Structure 1
Amino acid sequence: MQNTLVDKTFRDTEGNIVIAQMPNLPLVVWIVTSLLSLIFTSGKINTLLDLVAYGSLFTWAWLELFQGVNYFRRALGLAALVSLIVFKIQY
C-alpha cells in the first residue's frame, strides 16, 4: 500500500477507510446528557447536565485530536475543540 496523503487522511493503520466509528464513552455521555438537558430545562440539574455534556464533548474532541486513527478524525477533533472554545467564549 502506498503512503499517499489520501491514505494518511482516510485510512487507519490496518488500511481500512475510517470516516465514522461507533461512539466511544465520552460521545455517548455527551449524547445522553444533551438529551436529558432538553427534558430538565432549568435548575441545578440542567446546569450540571450542561457541564457534563460540555466536558464529555471536550474530552472526545481532545482524544480525537491526539489519538484519532487518521488525519480526518484528528481534523474532526480539532474542529470540534475549536468550535467548543469559540462557542463558550461567545456565550
Structure 2
Amino acid sequence: MEIRQDTLFDRVFRDSEGNIVIAQPPNLPLIVGIVSSLLKLLFTTGQIYLVLDLVAFGALFTWAWEELFQGVNYFRRALGLIGLVGLIAWKLQ
C-alpha cells in the first residue's frame, strides 16, 4: 500500500481524481461572455450595445464566481479570483 504525499504542485494543479487540470472546455457562462463581448465589436452604440455589455459582464462574472468557489483545483480557483478582480476593476474605470 503506497501512501501518496501531496506536494504543492499536486494541490495547485491536480483535481480530486489526480488529473492535472489547467484548461477545460469552456462552460456556458464563458461561451456567452465571449460571444457577447465579440458582438459588442459589431454593435458599438445604442441599446443593443448596452444589453450586450450587461450580458457579457454578467456571464463572465458568473464564470469567474463559479471558478472561484467550485474550481477543480487551486489554479482554477485563482483564475476565477483574477477574473473577478479584473472584471470589477474594468467596470470601475
TM-score range, shorter chain: over 0.9
User: SS at the partner of 1:32?
Assistant: helix
1:59 aligns to 2:58 (yes or no): no
Q: Structure 1 length as normaliser, TM-score?
A: 0.95
Look up the match of 1:86: 89
2:10 aligns with one of 7, 12, 21: 7
Q: Structure 2 length as normaliser, TM-score?
A: 0.93
Look up the match of 1:17: 20
How many corresponding residue pairs?
90
1:37 aligns to 2:40 (yes or no): yes
CA RMSD in angstroms comes to 0.8
Superposition misfits of 4+ residues, deviation over 4 angstroms: none
Identity of aligned residues (%): 71
CA distance in 1, matches of 2:17, 2:67: 18
Q: Which runs of 5+ in 1 are unaligned?
A: none
Counterpart of 2:77, as a letter, is R
